[in-house]
Amino acid sequence: MAELTTYHRKPEAIKHDGPPPTYSNATFAQNSTELNGAQPSAPPVSKAIAVPPVTPGDDITVLNGGDEVGIETREKVLEEEEEEGSGREDRCSKFVGFVQDAVYGFFTDNSDLLSKLFYLVLLVLYFVYFIAAMAYKFGDEASIRLLVVTLLVSVYLLFRLVEFLVRRGTITCCDCSGASECFMNFAKKIKFDMILAVVVALSALIYIIVAVGQHHPRNLISLGGMAVFILLFYVFSYNPARVQWRPVVWGILLQFIFAVLILRTTWGYNAFDYLGARVREFLAYTDAGSKFVFGDLYTNHFFAFKVLPVVVFFSTFVSVMYYVGFMQFIIRNLGRFLAFCLGTSPAESLNAAGNIFIGQSEAPLMIRPFISEMTKSEIHAILTGGFATIAGSVMAAYILYGVPPNHLLSASVMSAPAALSMSKLLYPETERTRHTEEEVYNMKRGEERNIIDAASNGATQSVKLVANIAVNLIAFIALLDFVNATLVWFGDRVGMHDPKLTFQLISSYVFYPLSFLMGVDGDDRLKMGELIGTKTFLNEFVAYTELSVYINNRKTLDAYLQNFTLGLPTNPTGNWSFVDGGIFLADTNQTLAKGLMTERSVVISTYALCGFSNLSSMGLMLGALGGMAPSRRSDISGLVFRAMIAGNVACFMTACIAGLLST
């Protein structure tokens, strides 16, 4: 290529009017020589060329070393070189680009069909594997687990297929958009909810008289406690005359049904116990990540490196389930079921169903567009649902503390109808809801691009939750220690040394009546009152931590006695005694602080503490809902304390039912 020499002319030196002039090579050569400060030489013989006009500020480019010399802007020269290069482009590259466009267009135009074929092939391959696995070995725990998972997935896929066919119009049974909605519409036509309520209520009454009243009459205290809570809420209701008893009755009946299945049937108890064991097994995989990040000694800091990582792992799992659409399917149909039974609006029913799996500030995100137009009763139900339940990720952390997972799972499910029941009793609906089922139940999948993005997003979102748990525990436990030290100081001034004046002591007596109403055993009522006070004024995490002390003490004592029964040399006598409110193990010289709680009291406590209903959560709910609907911030502020009380009583109602049916 010819060498480029560029000169910058001053703008005022270049003036030209009229059509572009014609120059010869001689003229260019002379001008080039003058610019370089040399004398002009004899012009070579060449043809004339036409040059476009030069505007002020353009660069003058002289091509030396060639036969042709021209003036062009730098930009024009570069553009011509690019065009010349593209003209020589390899035809193979053009062909590859053409093939790429064709393939991309084919996949874009047929993406829906190709994805269905892909999933169909995967489904066929899975069932081939399932048949081979069942033929190879059947009867052990692993084969039963595979069978159960396959049945659940098959039911889910069949349900989705029916919904798809109904939407397409292939199946026409009514004017609805899904299989569940089709069933709900049919049930409404025949008044199935009223018939079922009467049948269930009569069955529950007969069961209580026969199975509970005759064999465990002390459990009827819990039934009386339920009546007291309902009566008090009716008396202090916002509008007692407008109370609709359908959600109240149905909420209690649903709680009773779940409790009977778990606490009174062998297969139900075994099913939830098995499910709890599988959940604990699933959460144990968190240890691999904790060990990699924190080292082999991560269990030395049990809470920070063992408990909090479980929240991260479970949050990631929930995010992935949201991305694939499974969580929306479960929550949407649970919401429809609650709305059908209790007669509540679609928005508050969907929120209550979501609270079973996700947190109090995350569940309202599903109904965020509707909050600004909700009635006060609906907003009260949204707040109560957040206070009466716990998030699945937090529940996973409680399991690590030894809290019975089967009862935690049951309490999480039972609290959803309990929240709606108590909310509609304390703040009944007096307006007409503005949102239809089609608007509310149209839940979209996650916005992540793929499943890896969904998992990463879930882990990232858990950072805020983990930090919130950690800093709140640090703050409230430190504050509790300060309050106790202050109370002990005041108690010492009047000679109160045994027992010492503490926050726990005050709570145990203040909340003693609630413990009695829930049916807690006599020796454990003060301990239960202490746990209720801790949960209400601090948070449920601290309360479950204290409950775990009683649970672990029971395990330690049982192991101690078992060693004595087996005649092991480390425990020759098996003697133990009560000392200063604790238990002293003579053979190991060990003291179990705070003593024990009966198994029945532990079960009741598990249900009573299973909720975010505490003073600190009030600020969280105000910030979350107020940010979603700024125009309703004043209404939310006026309802949040009442909703916190309703959330607490909803947990107490589930505890009463557990106390009624526990043996």
List of residues 6+ apart from 516 with CB closer than 8 A: 221, 225, 525
List of residues 6+ apart from 490 with CB closer than 8 A: 501
- β pairing state of 3-8 and 22-23: unpaired
The CA–CA distances, whole Å, from 85 to 80, 88, 89, 90 equal: 9, 5, 7, 10
pLDDT for 181: 57
The CA–CA distances, whole Å, from 199 to 187, 192, 196 equal: 15, 11, 5
Q: Which class for 408: exposed (0-12), middle (13-18), buried (19 or more C-beta within 10 A)?
A: buried
With contact defined as beta carbons under 8 Å apart, do 493 and 338 qualify? no
**Residue tagged 């480019």 (tokens):** 61
CA distance 34 to 32: 5
**Residue tagged 């694939």 (tokens):** 324
Residue type, 438: E
pLDDT for 84: 56
With contact defined as beta carbons under 8 Å apart, do 651 and 418 qualify? yes
> What is the CB neighbour count within 10 angstroms for residue 353?
25
CA distance 57 to 7: 11
Instruction: State the chain's mean pLDDT as an integer.
Output: 81
The token pair at 213 is 């009243």
Could you tell me which residues are beta bridge partners of residue 64? 3
pLDDT for 547: 93
CA distance 519 to 535: 19
Q: Using omega within 30 degrees of 0 as the cis cutoff, is the peptide bond preceding 499 cis? A: yes
At residue 446, the 3 state secondary structure works out as coil
pLDDT for 261: 87
Instruction: For Cα atoms 344, 540, 403, give the angle at the middle one, nearest 5 degrees.
Output: 100
Torsion of CA 61, 66, 68, 70, to 10 degrees: 0
pTM of the model: 0.76
Low-confidence ranges of the chain (pLDDT < 50): 1-16, 22-51, 54-71
Q: What is the 3-state secondary structure (H, E, C) of 538-554?
A: CCHHHHHHHHHHHHHHH
The token pair at 377 is 């009763």
pLDDT for 437: 79
The CA–CA distances, whole Å, from 442 to 332, 346, 366, 437 equal: 9, 11, 10, 8
pLDDT for 470: 86
The 582-585 sheet, strands edge to edge: 576-579, 582-585, 590-592
The CA–CA distances, whole Å, from 80 to 71, 83, 222 equal: 13, 5, 91
CA distance 350 to 356: 10
CA distance 416 to 337: 12
Kindly report the backbone phi and psi dihedral angles of residue 583, in degrees, each rounded to the nearest multiple of 5, phi listed first: -125, 125
CA distance 291 to 295: 5
pLDDT for 192: 64
DSSP labels, 488-514: HHHHHTTT-TTTT--HHHHHHHHTHHH
